Each structure stands twice: as structure tokens, then as C-alpha cells.
Amino acid sequence: MANGKRKDTLIWGVILIAIGLLFLLDNINIHIDVWHTLANFWPVILILWGGWKLFLGLQEARQKDETAKDKK
């Protein structure tokens, strides 16, 4: 479970860096219409987030099954 927490922290770190990079590019006059792009692709973000959570949940369940089998 600690490993899952570590992966979540890594993902949030990457997301924050990407957002910061977009705002930095905007500040140095390399204009990317972040809000328009986000408005168009927010469902993709939800799908990816849900898929990631599903993956982590299945991985955790598999680890619990393996731990239960090892105890027998």
C-alpha cells in the first residue's frame, strides 16, 4: 500500500510540473491556449485518472491475493 501512495505522489508531481510549465510558457509569450485546450479535453483527463485508479486498485487486489496465498 505504501508503494501505491508513492506512485500517486509521483503522478501528482508530474501533473503540477506540467501545469507550471504551461503557465511559464504563457508568461514568456509562448502562447498556448491552456484554458481552451483544457475545456476541450477535460473528459480525457477524467478517463485517464479513472483508468489509473482502476489499475492501482487491481494491482493492490492482486498483491493481497498473493499475500493470502503465501500465508497458506
Q: What is the mean pLDDT of residues 55-71?
A: 83
In which band, very low, low, confident or very high, does the pLDDT at 1 lie, cut at 50, 70 and 90? very low
Burial class (CB in 10 A: 0-12, 13-18, 19+), 27: exposed
Interval 12-56: pLDDT, tens? 888 888 888 888 887 888 777 767 877 888 888 889 889 988 998
Grid cell digits, residue 15: 501533473
pTM: 0.52
Phi, psi of 31 (to 5 degrees): -80, 120
All structural domains of the chain with their residue ranges: 2-71
Using CA atoms, how far apart are residues 39 and 15, in angstroms rounded to an integer? 17
What pLDDT score does 2 carry? 55
